[in-house]
Amino acid sequence: MLPNYIGAFLLFIFGLYIILIKKNLIKLVMGIGLMDSGINLLLISIGFRLNGSVPMLITDWKDGMFFIDPLPQAFTLAAILINTCVTVLALTIVIKVKEHYGSIDADKVRRLKG
**Could you tell me if 8 and 34 are in contact, meaning their C-beta atoms sit under 8 angstroms apart?**
no
pLDDT at 98: 94
- pTM of the entire predicted model: 0.83
Residue ranges per structural domain of the chain:
2-51+67-111
pLDDT at 4: 92
Average pLDDT, the chain: 88
Tabulate helix, strand, coil % of the chain (nearest 5). Answer: 75, 5, 25
Could you give the C-alpha distances from 103 to 13, 106, 108, in angstroms and in order? 27, 8, 7
pLDDT at 50: 78
CA distance 34 to 14: 7
Fold assignment, 2-51+67-111: Helix Hairpins (1.10.287)
- Tens digits of residue pLDDT in 29-52: 999 999 999 999 999 998 887 777
Residue range 6-26: mean pLDDT, rounded: 96
- Tens digits of residue pLDDT in 57-112: 666 767 767 777 788 888 999 999 999 999 999 999 999 999 998 999 988 887 76
